Amino acid sequence: MTVDHSLILPILLPFVVGIALLSIDGDRHLAWQRRLSLLATAAAIPLAILLLVTTVDSGYRTYVLGHWPAPFGIVLVLDRLSALMVLLAAVVALPALWSAIGADTDRQGRYFHPLFQFQLMGLNGAFLTGDLFNLFVFFEILLIASYSLLLHGGGRERIRAGLHYVILNLTGSALFLIAIGVLYGLTGTLNLAELAVRVAHASAADAGLIRAGALLLLVVFGLKAALLPLHAWLPAAYANTGAPIAALFALLTKVGVYSIIRVFTLAFGSTAGPAADIAAPWLLPLGLATLLVGAIGLLASWNLRRLIAYSVIVSTGMLLTAIGLSTAASLSAALVYLIHTTLITAGMFLLADLIAEQRGHADSQPAPPVAQPALLGGLFFVGVVAMAGLPPLSGFLGKVLLLQAAQDSPALPWVWGIVLSSGLLIIVALSRMGSQLFWRTLDSAALPVHATVRRLFPAVALLAAGPLLVILGQPLIGYASATAQQLRQPAAYIEASLANRHLAPAPAHAAPVPGTTP
């Protein structure tokens, strides 16, 4: 039997390259580190596209490491959602790395490039794993890399923000382990597909602890996603780290959102017996509250980097509001909005760095005019229109799909009211920031700092998603709708993930997989 190993390559490639980069002296041979890191990051894009295409044709693909059968071995599962997230990570990573090299951010520490690759390994592993414990492992890999990248370059504010980030995420990791222990003790498995089967057939005596374990997982994933009231770590962390690193970090909160979608549609979805739809009563109100608080924080921001950081919290609120509506249409809207906000936010972090350089890093203080007002102002305008959800760019597309999905919901007044009112606050905040950056300047000559094509390309490439996603709106919505339908029918995922159970006898207490013969 021929085994297709391409499914493990998004994890294996950055892992091997990261180890290779550790053997190259970053002080004396930085050019070689850059070449190898760029080559590996660029290669991830066609690989991710190939994997995404295979999900359109075949639906699900699994890879069993070491040929150990589920639920005992490590299984990777590729479906439409995981393929989309792997591609999104690759598309964000290449411009972020290019920008780091162009701005010499990687010169501030000899381990920048290995850490960057290990960060990608953790991200891709979290998206592809079909096992709850290995989700924890990949969380720890990406978090350890992110701790170091966040502190890259040093500085008092960066260290302070990094300390808060580390403490809160270590607390989250401890809660994650407790949740895993509870669920394993009750079900005897952490394979997500097997867990879904056993939770659905759990006894009434175990129901309370299973619900407690599920809610602990929601707290952990909510912390990663910066869900209210677990969002306070994000603004300072994202505003004080390097712009290329902040651009890559636009994916970190999406790992939390992804985990909520994956675990709470599969293991704790509508067929989960005593824990059925346990997250549903929490996601919608907390999502709306996060959206509103994020918009207020954005309005109160005094510099561009902090404003963009609060926009990440706004995006979390929008996404979890859509997920909390618990329909195929709202889940489809969430996926469209997720693609838009990740790309635009990453592009805005890179653009903010270019603007800050030409203003002398003056933050909110009066500064000389930017040296390229038409170019940077035009890019800023594109990013602002997309972030605010105004037509004709991609933010408007995602927002309209969300509002349409709420039409049959009892929460319609709340969703429409908070989404539209927060949108108004965002427009005011972004307009004020644009005036401050480009019009309220000192009566002096511009600094002799010009953004080269090499420096501009990463920001332009990411911000181009604003119009491009609208042009590709029909296939994008079609893919998102098919993905939402796939997520709402977990039996196919379970069957694909446990298809190799015949390699070894299943435990005597294991429940049968729906649609299969035990």
pLDDT in tens, the chain (518 residues): 456 788 999 999 999 999 999 888 766 788 888 999 999 999 999 999 999 999 887 778 888 887 776 656 788 999 999 999 999 999 999 999 999 998 888 887 778 999 999 999 999 999 999 899 999 999 999 989 988 888 876 677 778 888 888 888 889 999 999 999 999 999 888 889 889 989 988 888 888 999 999 999 999 999 999 998 888 888 888 888 888 999 999 999 999 999 999 999 998 988 878 888 898 889 999 999 999 999 999 999 888 899 999 999 999 999 999 999 989 999 999 999 999 999 999 999 999 999 988 887 766 677 787 888 889 999 999 999 999 989 899 989 999 999 999 998 899 999 999 999 999 999 999 999 988 888 877 777 777 778 888 889 999 999 999 999 999 989 999 999 999 999 998 888 888 888 765 433 334 444 444 444 33
Predicted model pTM: 0.91
Instruction: Express the helix, strand and coil content of the chain in percent, nearest 5 each.
Output: 75, 0, 25
- Does 392 sit behind a cis peptide bond, omega within 30 degrees of 0 on the bond before it? yes
For residue 294, the model assigns a pLDDT of 94
Distance CA(458)–CA(251), nearest Å, equals: 16
Q: Are 326 and 277 in contact, with CB atoms under 8 Å apart?
A: yes
For residue 70, the model assigns a pLDDT of 61
- Does 71 sit behind a cis peptide bond, omega within 30 degrees of 0 on the bond before it? yes
- Going by the DSSP 8-state scheme, the letter that residue 277 receives in this structure is T
Buried b (16+ CB within 10 A) or exposed e, 195-215: bbbbbbebeeebeeebbbbbb
Distance CA(369)–CA(371), nearest Å, equals: 6
DSSP for 448-517, written as a single string = S----HHHHHHHHHHHTHHHHHHHTHHHHHHHHHHHHHHHT-HHHHHHHHTTTGGGSPPPTTPPPPTTS-
Distance CA(130)–CA(75), nearest Å, equals: 6
CA 371, 373, 374, 375 torsion-angle sign: positive
Q: Are 14 and 121 in contact, with CB atoms under 8 Å apart?
A: yes
Q: Are 490 and 269 in contact, with CB atoms under 8 Å apart?
A: yes
Distance CA(475)–CA(482), nearest Å, equals: 10
